[in-house]
Amino acid sequence: MDIYQKDQLDLVEATMADDGVIRISVMPLMESAHYLAGAMLDSDDGRQRVQLVRCGVSEECAVDVKAEVTQGTPDPYTLTLPDASQPVDLVYADGTSTTIFSPN
Amino acid sequence: MSKVVLGIHSNVTSGDKTGGHAWISITTLGRTTCYGLWPDEHGRTIDNGSGTDIRRGLETIAGARASRYYELTPTQAAALHTELGRNVTWNYTHNCSSWASDVIARVVGEDVDADDMSLLGAESPRQLGASIRRLETRSPTSRMSPVPAGAAPTGSSAASSW
């Protein structure tokens, strides 16, 4: 199990859904030996930190939030964060980060 | 018979030795369909038990970082149909890049080498991608301008031998 690097993610978008949660849409690099299992969550100084977990197909990867995808399609994965009150930073394997959501 | 163009693709040409993906595409009558080899255990696939691991529609050409294209003769198109009907199982030593390379070799006779020396000769998408780039440097192709039907193979794409 490892964490996705920035250049292994083709698309990451985070939006507030009608039900007040954050929906994150992710398109990781297509890989048949690995998949997006979900995310590890952490909070630090009023900000949510999210790390996307890259899991080998023969592994079981424990995550805080599971990634959902419609099987049999090339669609992006979706993750749901229940707390939309704090900004969300996506943290990459090298420790750098990008803010992907800021509350209004 | 309408023109059939077979493509081989990889989305990596370097990096992690088990990373990335390789697949094929078939374009006919302006419509492109992609096929790749994926394990049942993958989060994106439907587990079909002992059924073939050749899956349709999980890839798009847009994600490719290296591509090569071949126009097929009717005989080659029939051979491709046979390949797609095989029951093939994914595993670490016969993976997406192994399958894509095998299809091209069996259908058009060109060696798009995917053997990765750091994997003791097992195939990898990154090696396949590098080989595609080498072949394209010698004889560039595109979906609109593929290797002509019936043309002799360019030869092995292997950078070096064992």
* Cα distance between residue A27 and residue A45, in whole Å: 28
Structural domain of B132: 4-138
Q: What is the pLDDT of residue B1?
A: 65
Cross-chain Cβ contact B63/A10 below 8 Å: yes
pLDDT in tens, A52-99: 999 999 999 999 999 999 999 999 999 999 989 999 999 999 999 999
Give contacts of A 21-50 with B, CB under 8 A: 29-37
Q: What is the pLDDT of residue B153?
A: 75
> Which residue type does A99 have?
T
pLDDT in tens, A11-63: 889 999 888 899 999 999 999 999 999 999 999 899 999 999 999 999 999 99
Please, which residues have CB within 8 angstroms of residue B3's CB and are 6 or more apart in sequence? Answer: B28, B71
Q: What is the pLDDT of residue A1?
A: 83
Residue B160 included in any domain: no
**Local confidence band at B61 (pLDDT 50, 70, 90 cut-offs):** confident
ipTM, two decimals:
0.88
pLDDT in tens, B94-136: 999 999 999 999 999 999 999 888 777 789 999 999 999 999 9
Work out the average pLDDT over B38-45. 94
CB B93 within 8 A of CB B37: no
Residue B153 included in any domain: no
B43 close contact with A: CB closer than 8 A: yes
Cross-chain Cβ contact A30/B20 below 8 Å: yes
Cross-chain Cβ contact A73/B57 below 8 Å: yes
Distance from CA of A37 to the nearest CA of B (A): 8
Evaluated on CA atoms B24, B83, B104, B146, the torsion sign reads: negative
Residue B82 included in any domain: yes
Judged against a pLDDT cut of 50, whether residue B5 lies above it is answered with yes
Q: What is the pLDDT of residue B155?
A: 61
Name the residue in chain B with its Cα closest to that of A27. B63
Q: Name the domain count of chain B.
A: 1
